[in-house]
Amino acid sequence: MDLQQILNLPEVQLILPVLQTVISILLMIFPLIICVAYLTYAERKVIGYMQLRVGPNRVGPFGLLQPFADALKLMFKEIALPKKSNKVVFLIAPLMVFVPAFLAWAVIPVNGNGALANINLGVLYLLAVSSLGVYGILMAGWASNSKYAFLAAVRSGAQMVSYEVSMGLTILSVILMAGSMNLSEIVLAQKDMWYAIPAFPMFVIFIISILAETNRAPFDLPEAEAELVAGYNVEYSSMPFALFFLGEYANMILMSAMAVLLFLGGWLPPVDVAWLNWIPGFVWFVVKVCAILFIFLWARAALPRFRYDQLMRLGWKVFLPFSLIWLVLTAFVLKFMS
Amino acid sequence: MLENIFNNFADIMFFAFSAFLLIGALGVIMSKNPAYSILCMILSFFNASGLFILMGAEFLGLLLVMVYVGAIAVMFLFVLMTIDIDFAELKTGFAKYAPFGLFVGAVLAFEIIFAIQGGLFSGLNSLQETAALSGAEKSNIEQIGAVMFTQYVLPFLAVSIVLLIAMVGAICLTHRKRTDVKRQDINKQLSRTREQAVELKTVKPGEGI
């Protein structure tokens, strides 16, 4: 049988689409993992330079192989299971943090060709999937059977749930303006003006909310090392420990991509002129995501940590009412002025 | 043979989702540790959401994940993790609750039977009919919006009021003004001036204040 015949077999015909999907998923995930690795490198470099240091510079040229050295080191460590921990949940927890962060990329359109799955309810899917990360953290804290891990998990869970609310409301106002829940359509609706301009307050709230949602500085209370040793991952070592961090950094990239798609015009250039349109959309997308990621790193280097009650006050008493009012305002403006 | 298996992919997905849903549901009532029950419940929610999506109601499916998995189950997990539970005590009283449980089960079973035969719930529209009502070929969310705010506006309002009452009720029942905590007044903190905070005194050498 030659290749053509093999391809025409009914069995092959059935499996081929599945294979195609699997390959396109892998093509999405592997670059992402590399990005996550280099985000840790970028973080150390950026914060290094902000603190008048050089950051990692020993492994490879400019320290470029540092992420791989770190990964190898973590892989060769022993996986320590605490004796009184709940073993099954303890080992599932890191996966529950890691997987949703990558799951969400199925609907993210990186250029005009659309995403892996260009579904109509892309925004809703993103919200649904990103709300799963909290389980990993709660399970980790509970299964570790340790006070510090547990307290950190409860804190972190409460924080993520609270900021999800204000994040959801800011996204709702964008959906109202775009009139669609399809991410590609939301981006195309921003052809004339990025939503960051008319909805600037929402953009600011969204950026602050994603800082809190990913448990990053200045809202990195779950990792408050002075009070909670290290946070919900105290008892973890080796790869399970690394998975938490991979998940956290993948979430940072995901949230930045969300901010870019919803407020900064996705893959579209800033103004619709010819010579800017020659640059491929993918490049615009990556540049914008990097800009938002830089804000993440900048905030970590520049701002002191929030106190827990301040964090909750900001989320529930400032952001929530403000974004609700803005939502009503947006609806009014859209109904009566356009 | 392989062809037959793959012939109807949707059927396979349906049985897979249903099987895991039932496994999850069994896990909820069978597991000894309540935290496992919640995790099994989340598994059930996911598979129910899969079933919704399989039937073309992707909005409901995603909403199920968002609301039940993303918010309600998290609250359950929170409460279960933070309270101290006596597992042995939970097991007692089976005989006491059994008749009531059987009664609820029987009611639900009858409801399902009636629903399947279409006798009792003929007033409710199926998804296709809803689509037809709102002028078909629209996205899921538009279809729901079109009937929810027209045909079903009164039940919708009633449900909203019930929700509001539940919310206000929960706050009324649990909220009490506590006097034993030190509250922070941000305005007070910010409006503090140097004059209120520090006082300069000239201290003579060798004397003290």
- For A264-280, what is each residue's pLDDT tens digit? 888 888 877 777 778 88
Residue B116 pLDDT exceeds 90: no
**What is the structure's pLDDT at B134?**
46
Residue A228 pLDDT exceeds 60: yes
Contact check, Cβ <8 Å, A135/B77: yes
Contact check, Cβ <8 Å, B78/A158: yes
**What is the structure's pLDDT at B175?**
84
**What is the structure's pLDDT at A324?**
92
Q: How confident is the model over A25-66, as pLDDT tens digits?
A: 888 888 888 999 899 999 999 999 999 998 888 888 888 888
**What is the structure's pLDDT at A290?**
92
**Is A230 touching B (CB cutoff 8 A)?**
no
Instruction: Sort out which chain A residues have CB atoms less than 8 A from B6's CB and list them.
Output: 14
**Is A17 touching B (CB cutoff 8 A)?**
no
**Is A128 touching B (CB cutoff 8 A)?**
yes
Q: How far apart are CA A59 and CA A72, in angstroms?
A: 13
Please give, rounded to a whole number of angstroms, the shortest distance from the CA of A55 to a CA of chain B: 38
Residue B21 pLDDT exceeds 70: yes
Q: How confident is the model over B143-193, as pLDDT tens digits?
A: 788 888 888 899 999 999 999 999 999 999 988 888 888 877 888 888 888
Tokens describing residue A102: 């990558």
Between A31-35, A53-57, A106-110, B118-122, the lowest mean confidence (pLDDT) is in B118-122
Nearest to B139 among A120, A139, A161 (CB): A120
Q: Mutate which of A15, A89, A131 to disrupt the B interface (most B C-beta within 10 Å)?
A: A131
Q: How far apart are CA A337 and CA B58, in angstroms?
A: 32
Q: How confident is the model over A274-298, as pLDDT tens digits?
A: 777 788 888 888 999 999 999 999 9
Instruction: Sort out which chain B residues have CB atoms less than 8 A from A134's CB and list them.
Output: 70, 74
Nearest to B35 among A121, A142, A154 (CB): A142
Instruction: Sort out which chain B residues have CB atoms less than 8 A from A186's CB and list them.
Output: none
Written as one letter, the residue type at B203 is V
- DSSP letter for each residue of chain B: -HHHHHHTHHHHHHHHHHHHHHHHHHHHHH-SSHHHHHHHHHHHHHHHHHHHHHTT-HHHHHHHIIIIIIIIHHHHHHHHHHS---HHHHHS-HHHHHHHHHHHHHHHHHHHHHHHHTSTTTTSPPHHHHHHHTTSSS-HHHHHHHHHTTTTHHHHHHHHHHHHHHHHHHHHHH----SSS----HHHHHT--HHHH----PPPTTT--
Contact check, Cβ <8 Å, A127/B70: yes
**What is the structure's pLDDT at A329?**
92
Instruction: Sort out which chain B residues have CB atoms less than 8 A from A167's CB and list them.
Output: none
**Is A125 touching B (CB cutoff 8 A)?**
yes
Residue A256 pLDDT exceeds 70: yes
pTM for the full predicted model: 0.84
Q: Mutate which of B2, B12, B62, B183 to disrupt the A interface (most A C-beta within 10 Å)?
A: B62
**What is the structure's pLDDT at B138?**
65
**What is the structure's pLDDT at B1?**
46
Contact check, Cβ <8 Å, B66/A309: no
Mean residue pLDDT of chain B comes to 80
Q: What average pLDDT does range A186-198 have in this prediction?
A: 86
Contact check, Cβ <8 Å, B70/A128: yes
Nearest to B70 among A119, A131, A313 (CB): A131
Residue B131 pLDDT exceeds 90: no
**What is the structure's pLDDT at B164?**
95
Residue A120 pLDDT exceeds 90: no
Q: Contact at 8 Å (CB) between A107 and A119?
A: yes
Q: Please give the C-alpha separations between residue B142 and each of A338, B54, B145, B167, in angstroms, as whole numbers.
A: 21, 18, 5, 28
Closest residue in B to A128 (Cα) is B66
* pLDDT band at residue B129 under the 50/70/90 scheme: low
Nearest to B3 among A10, A131, A309 (CB): A10
**Is A135 touching B (CB cutoff 8 A)?**
yes
Residue A9 pLDDT exceeds 50: yes
Of A209, A127, A60, A318, nearest to B70 (Cα)? A127
**Is A107 touching B (CB cutoff 8 A)?**
no
| Percent of chain A whose predicted confidence (pLDDT) is above 90 | 18
Q: What average pLDDT does range A247-272 have in this prediction?
A: 88
**What is the structure's pLDDT at B20?**
93
Mean residue pLDDT of chain A comes to 86
* pLDDT band at residue B91 under the 50/70/90 scheme: low
Q: How confident is the model over A144-175, as pLDDT tens digits?
A: 888 888 888 888 888 888 888 888 889 999 99
Instruction: Sort out which chain A residues have CB atoms less than 8 A from B58's CB and list them.
Output: 119-121
Contact check, Cβ <8 Å, B3/A138: no
**Is A229 touching B (CB cutoff 8 A)?**
no
Please give, rounded to a whole number of angstroms, the shortest distance from the CA of B155 to a CA of chain A: 23
Between A15-29, A37-51, A209-223, B126-140, the lowest mean confidence (pLDDT) is in B126-140
Of A125, A204, A222, A137, nearest to A166 (Cα)? A204
Buried b (16+ CB within 10 A) or exposed e, B91-111: eeeeeeeeeeeeeeeeeeeee
Tokens describing residue A79: 């996986």
Residue B55 pLDDT exceeds 80: no
Nearest to A154 among B39, B82, B186 (CB): B82
**What is the structure's pLDDT at B119?**
54
Please give, rounded to a whole number of angstroms, the shortest distance from the CA of B16 to a CA of chain A: 17
**What is the structure's pLDDT at B87?**
64
Contact check, Cβ <8 Å, B78/A157: yes
Q: Contact at 8 Å (CB) between A56 and A69?
A: no
Of A22, A262, A29, nearest to A124 (Cα)? A262
Residue B107 pLDDT exceeds 90: yes
